[in-house]
A and B are shown apart, each in its own frame.
Chain A
């Protein structure tokens, strides 16, 4: 069936069964491969997108349940070549090894910073409670999010 989604500020139509996980619609129908598949069970956070301001694991949401909501993916984080403060901070801190967790973590962090520009270390860690990183880049990621928050406060 044809379903219309609001993705990154645009209406996009996908041809998929209602119960198809949103993740596959984003990746395979809309070519938004920045949202990565990790477990398909909502346990690892690699597929995190923002739906109506909240971080959501897109493998766990049927595409039909996302209709009529605002979906933001990692592709919309930068405005063209103008990187989001979080992305600049990830580069400055070199907060990646394999980088596979990065998209989901960036979106979870954006959802946090959108409502809290002055998060404590504990706030940040809690915001990433549902995101896993296997390479052990935790320290750099936490520092990068702090750095981005500072930059956003100054802006």
Chain B
């Protein structure tokens, strides 16, 4: 390998560094359109709209000219996984550079054709005009080989001050189809001759199939094939309801060996398990004492993605190739795991993305893809659509891990924090496909020759996994942060919106309020005095102003308000939240104010939409959500067992953007999760003088806290 001593600044932006061919990102069509082929995918977050804006901006074309091709392993750039609020940084900055470079290539062609120098050219909606007269369009200039080259470092994107499309709230490119009932999701795809499949899952993660007589199911109406491979059990039928009926029969007649019983469902059980412990931040002397010492313990339970649509995929074995349509967040890593599970070459699997319902992390999209492939292999040539049943989605999707956070601090006699300690216990937050040394797909573990799962892990710091946002952004002279990682989880855990950032920010921001009270300080002022970062201070000041926060304000025994803050991953969006609650029988979050700084906002309304969504989802997590399981398996299997926030309960939300066009754009989707939970806990304390440290804040927890 050639030695490189180039500084970091000389690399290409975002995912372009590892996908340098221009033609993999973009195609200028002769019909006056531009096809964009990002490797990142739409998961409900509106990313495609923002990417369209970034490309239109650099190419100087109308946004209506842009066509988006679905990501496919057949030709899209490999951008890994659409996760971590990184799509603007990775895909957006790559496409911005590609578009800038393509524009300059086209201008060179135009200059030649028109016989003028580059300085004499201007572009308007793809028409290149020479000052001296004469013009030519991109659509005339584009040739098949023009973009058949690698990106260079030469292209220069526009300055923020020159932006006319970026920074505006372009309407979402996908909304029309979704509100007019068009086929918008993989669930809606109908291929000629398509059959329907269903999977009959074990009663729990440790159960194994002892015996089953498949004959009676094979003879049911419409049944085309029944597939058993070890403990993997599925059925293919002509009609969807026939597949469901056959699956129910399979579930009734299958004899399962329950396996080892599951342990108690208590986050504090984490404290008793062997852990890999690592000090991830240490400053000064962690033994420093002040005038007063404090400690507190916080927990969160397992929570579910609970996407509205159960996962779905279509697979078709055709000749030697396997064609797949899936709402996976990472088609390339999935392809690798699929190849291992099926024992075929990666190049024989063509995976194309098709949107699913809202995706908030590693849900069952990848798992259902292998299910569909296994059934499709039983009926060669036929496309097989497999959709999970709602109950299976709830039982078998990977969950956000339960966590425990123990915080301690010392205050000096001025009421300043002089020492800070944070220990956290959690399972790993990433068990996605693409892990090393195993296959992370449910069906693969159930096969007669089961494939082991890859070792569960965490994304590394600074972003982190369970330790995401565990290192405070506040400036303390002495601090120690320790991550206790318990890799294996009794029920499957993986990436859910903000990973450990939710629980860590909840704990930090709750504890800061507890310390502010001990220091007889206002929570807003107390935060500001421990922060150096001007952008952090700005969002806190802004949200206080929006909510007309009164220094030292106190609730009235029923109503109260509280604040929460975090910078997502300590390196991305700044979010400050104030929540107003009303506590009667249950906690009702009535209003939320939010100030946010995502750097340059590519699409301000899109950012606000994401923030509002994150806020409401976190209100739901905080007040209502907890996955439960018994000795055998998950018991929260319907919307009645696992209620989420309803339209009757939804708070009013007001979001203000502090737009910083000069600062790099960062993602908006996840940063509110922790601050919202803390703001609610702090508001409840403000209202009732009771501190809730265990989520969710259900009626039972409130009653218990009040009577304690």
Binding site for B on A (CB under 8 A): 16-17, 20-21, 24, 27-28, 31-41, 43-44, 46, 73-75, 77-78, 83, 87, 90-91, 94, 96-103, 106, 124-126, 128-129, 131-142
Contacts and interface: CB of A to CB of B under 8 A. Distances in A.
Contacts of A135: 44, 358, 613, 617
Interface of B: 43-46, 169, 171-172, 174-176, 178-185, 187-188, 190, 221, 239-241, 244, 306-310, 355-360, 387, 389-390, 605-606, 609-610, 612-617, 620, 638-640, 644-648, 650, 652-653
Given A94-B175, A100-B185, A139-B650, A87 B644 contact: no
Contacts of A24: 239-241
Of B43, B172, B358, B653, which is in contact with the most chain A CB atoms at under 10 Å from its CB? Answer: B358
A91 B307 contact: no
A134 B306 contact: yes
Of B169, B357, B645, which is in contact with the most chain A CB atoms at under 10 Å from its CB? Answer: B357
Contacts of A28: 190, 239-240
A73 B181 contact: yes
B171 A91 contact: yes
A136 B612 contact: yes
A123 to B, nearest CB: 11
A147 to B, nearest CB: 14
A73 B614 CA distance: 30
Contact of B308 (A101, A126, A141): A101
Given A38-B310, A75-B181, A77-B181, 8 more contacts: A27-B188, A38-B308, A40-B390, A44-B308, A91-B179, A98-B357, A135-B44, A136-B650
A126 B175 contact: no
Contact of B605 (A35, A94, A129, A131): A94
Given A39-B638, A125-B647, A140-B609, A97 B45 contact: yes
Contact of B181 (A33, A131, A137): A33
A100 B180 contact: no
A94 B609 contact: yes
29 contacts: A33-B187, A36-B187, A37-B187, A38-B308, A38-B309, A38-B390, A40-B389, A73-B181, A74-B181, A91-B171, A96-B178, A97-B44, A97-B45, A98-B307, A103-B181, A125-B647, A125-B648, A129-B646, A132-B644, A132-B646, A133-B308, A134-B358, A134-B617, A135-B44, A136-B612, A138-B650, A139-B612, A139-B616, A142-B647
Contacts of B190: 28, 31, 33
A83 B307 CA distance: 28
Contacts, number: 180
B551 to A, nearest CB: 29
Contacts of A17: 221, 241
Contacts of B358: 97-98, 100, 134-135
A46 B181 contact: no
A136 B240 contact: no
A135 B198 CA distance: 26
A41 B175 CA distance: 27
B694 to A, nearest CB: 23
Nearest to B185: A100
A136 B617 contact: yes
A37 B387 contact: yes
A141 B327 CA distance: 25
A85 to B, nearest CB: 12
B307 A43 contact: no
Given A102-B179, A132-B639, A96 B172 contact: yes
A141 B609 CA distance: 11
Contacts of A39: 310, 390, 638-639
Contacts of B617: 134-136
Of B310, B359, B650, which is in contact with the most chain A CB atoms at under 10 Å from its CB? Answer: B650
A21 B245 CA distance: 12
A96 B609 CA distance: 8
Contacts of B241: 16-17, 20-21, 24
A134 B307 contact: yes
B168 to A, nearest CB: 13
Contacts of B175: 90-91, 94, 96, 99
The 9 closest A-B pairs by CB, nearest first: A34-B181, A98-B44, A136-B616, A99-B178, A98-B358, A136-B613, A138-B650, A100-B357, A74-B181
A97 B613 contact: yes
A28 B188 CA distance: 9
Contacts of A126: 648
A142 B620 CA distance: 18
B638 A138 contact: no
Nearest to A108: B647
